[in-house]
Structure 1
Amino acid sequence: MLRLRRLALLCATAPLWLAGCASVVPSRSFDAGETARAELYSGRFAANYVRYGRNEGVQGSFRWEEQGRNVRLDLVSPLGQTLAVVTSTPSGATLDLPNEPPRNAPEVDSLMEQALGFSLPVAGMRDWLHGRPASGAPSKSTRDANGRLDTLMQSGWTVRYVDWQESPEGAAPATARPRRVDMARDGADSPLSVRLVIDPETKQ
């Protein structure tokens, strides 16, 4: 059974297991030298995919922190236990799982797929969560009547901006923040869809 689902089920159905569902401490730190302001996103996620010929699904909450090219993504069970931590920096990427050694690679997408059965496009999400195409890769897009992204196709993914948070009156479309984003990986060999519902922005 999928590791995330097994851990979430144990935590939900047997309170005595809660002590064993410990938080995950990331083993990789952000690279120094980034001067950009740290930005935080949080919300809920749901992923549906095919593994070993079977339809699978997992859901929970997420916390996304970025500072320049540094990114940390926490995936959390419905009961609040950290199930996985992804850290991606210019020097490499690490996936930390409960009670397992850290897994390292130049990029994190393949690590997630091997360990969890699905991956989130971490590199693209740095820009997609801001409602813009990622730089350095070809893309096709459509925009709504307010000039915000409606559909984006890039790097083998189709990203649909289903809903947007309210922007201050007079604010430019580029400053708008998505509320719900649906992502689907193109190709029939390994179909994957991910829904993100993002919490309202909080001022820091």
Structure 2
Amino acid sequence: MRRRRLAAALPAVLLAACAQPPRAVAPDVVAGRLAVQVDAFNEAPARSFSAAFELQGNAERGQLQLTSPLGTVLARAQWMPGQALLQTSQGESRDSSLDALSERMLGEPMPLAALIEWLHGRPWPGAPVQRLADGFEQMGWRIDLSRYGDGVLLAQRSQQPAIGVRARLDQNP
């Protein structure tokens, strides 16, 4: 009887021994949902974009993946000093900087290097900052951190065309 119990338990023990512990999320990974809205300006119509995102790295070196609600990868971007690569269903394109890549990826120049820091709830060290009670202003953008504890970050640029960015973070970085 005892041998039968041991024999019955052996497969479970072997499976448990082969199981890998859950992967820990790297501390520099930020994930969630991102919505970008660009107001109409001159002849350009209003545009909006929404996707799940996973961002790893920093302004100097990193990668960003944007995914549709159905799980389709919309774009992958990788950057390092002097080089940025964007992969979409239309192919690959290379740029010399993260800023040039942001314009190609989002259709409007956005300070992606700063956005990386903003998603961590802090100003970008590469530009002056004005502190506010509920966030800060930097490079013509107002960063609202009033709901950051709930995983929500709002960034708005009032300069035309006005741009609004809303990030819903899976967990606070």
Task: Give the number of equivalent residue pairs.
Answer: 146
Letter in 2 for 1:75: L
RMSD: 2.4
Measure, in 1, the Cα distance between the counterparts of 2:58 and 2:115: 13
TM-score where L is the length of structure 1: 0.62
Q: 1:79 to 1:38 in 2, by over 3 A?
A: same
Q: 1:127 to 1:79 in 2, by over 3 A?
A: same
Which ranges in structure 1 are unaligned for 5 or more consecutive residues? 1-36, 144-149, 166-177
Which ranges in structure 2 are unaligned for 5 or more consecutive residues? 1-25
Q: 1:55 to 1:126 in 2, by over 3 A?
A: closer
Measure, in 1, the Cα distance between the counterparts of 2:127 and 2:84: 20
Secondary structure at the residue paired with 1:200?
Answer: coil
8 Å CA contact 2:33, 2:51 repeated in 1: yes
Q: 1:122 to 1:115 in 2, by over 3 A?
A: closer
Measure, in 1, the Cα distance between the counterparts of 2:58 and 2:139: 22
Moved over 6 A (4+): none
Rg bigger for which structure?
A: 2
8 Å CA contact 2:77, 2:86 repeated in 1: yes
Letter in 2 for 1:57: S
Letter in 1 for 2:35: A
Q: 1:119 to 1:42 in 2, by over 3 A?
A: farther
Secondary structure at the residue paired with 1:162?
Answer: coil
Q: 1:201 to 1:132 in 2, by over 3 A?
A: closer
Q: Which one of 28, 49, 55 corresponds to residue 38 of structure 2?
A: 49
Letter in 2 for 1:198: L
Q: 2:98 matched to which residue of 1?
A: 108
Report which of the two has the higher share of helix: 2
